[in-house]
Amino acid sequence: MEKSNISRRHFLKSTALGTAAIGLGASALQGTACAQQGKQPNKVGLYSITFLGIWYEGKALTLDEVLLKSKELGFDGIEVDGKRPHGNPLDWPTGKCKEFVKKAGDLGQVIYAVSANNDFSSPIPEHRECQIAYMKELIRMTSDLGASVLRIFLGWPGVTFQNNTWQYVTADDIWEHTHALFTPEETWNWCREGVSECCKYAGDYGVKLALQNHHPVIRDWPDVLKMVEEVNSPSLKVCLDAPIMVDKSEENINKAAAAVGPLQALTHFNGEWGLDENGKIKDIQTYERETGPDGKPLKIEFYPQFVAAMKKIGYPGWFSYELCHPLPVINGKKVSIEYAESCARYACRMMKDLIINA
Share of the chain above pLDDT 90, in %: 74
SS3 78: strand
In the chain, pLDDT over 70 holds for what percent of residues? 84
Q: Is residue 82 over pLDDT 60?
A: yes
Contact 259, 245 (CB under 8 A): no
- Least confident span in 56-60, 210-214, 283-287, 293-297: 293-297
pLDDT at 289: 55
Bridge partners (DSSP) listed for residue 166: 161
d(CA 117, CA 256): 24
Residues in contact with 293: Cβ distance below 8 Å, sequence separation at least 6, in sequence order: none
What domains sit in the chain, N to C, each tagged with a CATH number? 11-357 (3.20.20.150)
Geometric angle at alpha carbon 356, from 351 and 358, rounded to 5°: 90
Q: Which residue, 269, 263, 295, 294, is CA-closest to 283?
A: 269
Confidence at residue 340, expressed as pLDDT on a 0 to 100 scale: 96
Cβ neighbours, 10 Å, residue 144 = 21
CB 270 within 8 Å of CB 324: yes
CB of 112 closer than 8 Å to CB of 45: yes
The tens digit of pLDDT for each residue in 150-173 reads 999 999 999 898 776 788 889 999
In the structure, what pLDDT confidence band is assigned to residue 48 with cuts at 50, 70 and 90? Answer: very high
The Cα–Cα gap between 115 and 340 comes to: 20
CB–CB of 43/76 below 8 Å? yes
The gap from C-alpha 219 to its chain's centroid, in whole angstroms, comes to 17
Candidate from 13-17, 158-162, 187-191, 217-221 with smallest mean pLDDT: 13-17
- Predicted pLDDT of residue 166: 82
